[in-house]
Amino acid sequence: MNLNIYGRKLNKVNNFGKLTPENRLYNIPCPIIGLTGGIATGKSSATKILEEMGINVICADKLVKNVYQSSKTQDYLTKNHPDVIEKDGINFKRLRELFFSDDTVKNAIETLIYSQMPDAFKLAFSKFKSPDFIVYDVPLLFEKGLDKLVDLKALVYAPKDIQIQRLIRRDSIDEQLARNIISKQIDIETKRGRCDVVLQNTGTLEDLKIEIKKGLNI
């Protein structure tokens, strides 16, 4: 991908300004596109498409899964929430239900996980070979204030009713839990208004690929 072509596209976005490494997330030396959305809007699908196109992508969800396997996290959960620990590891369905039913638990676990994210991110970045830029797939871009630390904010968008339908079908949960999970994130329409690029994802994967090519000028 030609960074100069890409740069001309980015410079058309209102209020876009390339950050210096000192002001960028974890002081990464190259530009970062923060790819976000809401749960069940299709970020994973967008990420897969980008990777298939040869784009360097770091996925926050994958980093979080790695952090959950750390001894620090395992020890904390074993001590404070032993009911989510099984012989084969963490029961994430049970953990998620606990996470979204108690804000105190949610905040404590998030603090634990995110304290370990800088090292996890830098380890993932070190595996790239001097990239011109990277894409960071991060659901909580705004919730964690990371939007100020990336060079461009891109949203994978689907309206809330589609989010709910997809989440119910994907995770085999009831509508009330789906709505509760979605309510913990910033409203998708609010995110839409705060992003530089909006990638519509209400159709097929091919439609999404076209949106990505058009929206990011790839």
> Residue 117 domain-assigned?
no
> Residue 138 domain-assigned?
yes
Q: What is the pTM of this model?
A: 0.80
41: domain CATH number?
A: 3.40.50.300
Range of the domain at 186: 3-60+133-216
> Residue 204 domain-assigned?
yes
pLDDT digits (tens, 9 = 90+) for 115-165: 999 999 999 999 999 898 999 999 889 988 999 999 999 999 999 999 999
> Residue 193 domain-assigned?
yes
Both ends of the chain: CA-CA distance in Å? 7
> Residue 155 domain-assigned?
yes
> Residue 37 domain-assigned?
yes
pLDDT digits (tens, 9 = 90+) for 36-54: 999 999 999 999 999 999 9
Q: What does the alpha-carbon distance between residue 142 and residue 126 come to, in Å, rounded to a whole number?
A: 25
How many folded domains does the chain comprise? 1
> Residue 42 domain-assigned?
yes
Minimal CA–CA distance to 163: which of 112, 110, 201? Answer: 201
> Residue 112 domain-assigned?
no
Q: What does the alpha-carbon distance between residue 192 and residue 160 come to, in Å, rounded to a whole number?
A: 12
